[in-house]
Amino acid sequence: MGQTTEIERWAYSFWLGSCNGSNMIVSLGYAGYFDASMNEPQDEMVVAGYLATLDQWIQFEAVWKLTLIRYDVPFFKMSEFIGRRKEYSHPKWQSESYRAQFVKDLTSIIRDWTEASIACRMKQELFDRYNKSYELDSRFNMFALCGRDCAAQARKYVRESIQSDLPIAFIFDQGDASPGPGLLTNEMISSSLPAPSFKRSRPDSILDKDDPYHVQLQACDFAAWELRRGESDLEGGKSPNELRKSLLALNHKNKIWKQSLEPDLQGLLQVAGIKKRQ
């Protein structure tokens, strides 16, 4: 029997009905993975990730891990890759052609083994402006808003575009849930979405025995960083053709990239019944 992937281990505990007694997948569902990225001034956030079937994620995990082994790195983290730090400080990572080939291999895996790319962006200024008049922060922060919107878009895509009734699980990087997972969890449940899981993106030899890391979140880290940087570059005056090649390579056949604007927030205030401050 082949080696069980981490997502198969997780699926067995999360969806007992999806596995038979031999841990073989017999009924597939969908999973949406998401990660968040904020810019240096901390005044905008992007939550981004990918939707795929469980079978696609199993294939993704196997190929992604083999690619990391081939390049001799234990994980992918965009900030460390860009900064050429830690695992990416070796002299080989100074070669632009070597780096470009690595990125090309990763983006190819993403395009081959995911169903859709989903992202939501929000400006802190917009949130703060409405929070002055309404008790917005009593129920939301930018992460909860963007994360909930990504999950809602993923569900809409599965139910309406794919026309599938299969179950959907949502997994977020556990490092993003500040000040805690409660806000996002509560809002997803309020929106009749499944409660999210929060997982690690990096391996840990001790923790992985009972709670395996999810390598899929490394691709979400890649997407969130690139999309946030790309939007900032466009606002800074760059044309679409001048954007980073790695961002352009992430251009998915099925992309749902959204920005939360003032009408979206106004609608939320009404639907959620957010009270005005006294």
User: Region 201-208: what's the mean pLDDT?
Assistant: 90
Question: Do 6 and 14 meet the contact criterion of CB atoms below 8 Å apart?
Answer: no
- Is 166 a member of any domain? yes
CATH of the domain at 19: 3.30.420.10
Question: What range defines the domain where residue 93 resides?
Answer: 6-272
* Tokens 């632009």, located at residue: 96
Task: Flag whether 30 is in a domain.
Answer: yes
- Write down the mean pLDDT value for the chain: 88
pLDDT digits (tens, 9 = 90+) for 5-62: 666 655 655 444 444 444 444 346 899 999 999 888 888 999 999 999 998 999 999 9
Residues in the chain: 278
Distance CA 14, CA 194 (A): 12
Q: Which of 171, 168, 223 is nearest to 200 (CA)?
A: 171
Is 278 part of any domain?
no
* 139-158 residue pLDDT tens: 899 999 999 999 999 999 99
Pairing of strands 197-199, 168-173: parallel
pLDDT score for 210:
87
248: pLDDT strictly greater than 60: yes
Question: What single-letter amino acid sits at 255?
Answer: K
Q: What confidence score (pLDDT) does residue 3 get?
A: 58
* Overall average pLDDT of the 194-212 stretch: 90
pLDDT in tens, 153-188: 999 999 999 999 999 999 999 875 555 578 999 999
Q: Is residue 134 part of a domain?
A: yes
- Compute the average pLDDT of residues 183-200: 92
Total domains, the chain: 1
Question: CB under 8 Å to 129, separation ≥6 — which residues?
Answer: none
pLDDT of residue 211: 87
Q: How far apart are CA 145 and CA 120, in angstroms?
A: 9
In a domain, 116, yes or no: yes
Q: Is residue 277 part of a domain?
A: no
Residue 41 lies in a domain: yes
